[in-house]
Amino acid sequence: MRERTIDERLIVPQSGGIYRLCGNGFAGKNMRQYAEAWTAIALMNGQYVHWIDGACRFNPDRILRCFPEAYPEANYLLRNLFVGRGFTVHQFASLVQRIADELTITDAKLIVVDGPIVMHLDAQVRDREARTLLKRCMAKLTQVAEQNDIAVIVITAAKAYSKRHKALLDIIDKQCNQKLLGRNRRQGGVSKLWLVHQPTGSSGFRAHWTDQETLQQTYSRILHQKLRTDYQQDLEEITLLD
């Protein structure tokens, strides 16, 4: 019996809202590869991308590995990726508040916020202050997404490990109109990534997991397919013009 895989076309972020990626590991570590792949696609389309790194783990090499191997000047595309690191709650809040002004310059269509809760868990920050600051940040990101008709991706853990953590996760979840949850499931003695997408309700294992294809390779394949499709469309448009 063939195992069910999720339809990757249904889980692509839609503009005008907040998309939550949530999974296992530190601040949803196992799901950030989706954000990296979507970032690569946006860069290949000539778009700018803003990445706010609240988890202090951004690595440009991971973005580069999402590009097809033969893609020309992939390093050059990273110039269109703007990265800001929020080491404290106030630095993070400042980055979020500035994003609207930066969009007037870049006209970016994608914003990624990795680990927005991490610095809000700092023991030196009171519970109430952490909740207040996060609510303001999420309200601002929602406003930016709606007014600019862009996609904002936030990456978080799926499960809370404390009362405070749960309260912060709830704040984010209430602002999201899209969500992709990833959990590891054992099937036939092998651990596989099971995905559930809302609001479509689509679910299934990550495609080609049984072939031991990595997520980076999966999206490299998708990007290759996209290039071929775009190239074919260009040829058809040229033919029509002739």
17-183 fold:
Rossmann fold (3.40.50)
For the chain, what are the domain ranges?
17-183
pLDDT value at residue 208: 55
pLDDT digits (tens, 9 = 90+) for 92-111: 999 999 999 999 999 999 99
- Whole-angstrom CA distances from 47 to 13, 15, 69, 149 are 15, 14, 20, 14
Take residue 156 and report the two structure tokens written for it.
């978080």
Q: pLDDT band at residue 58, thresholds of 50, 70 and 90?
A: very high
User: Per-residue pLDDT averaged across 130-134, rounded?
Assistant: 97
User: Per-residue pLDDT averaged across 192-207, rounded?
Assistant: 89
Q: Is the pLDDT of residue 242 over 80?
A: no
Surface-to-core class of residue 98, CB atoms within 10 Å of its CB (0-12 exposed, 13-18 middle, 19+ buried): middle
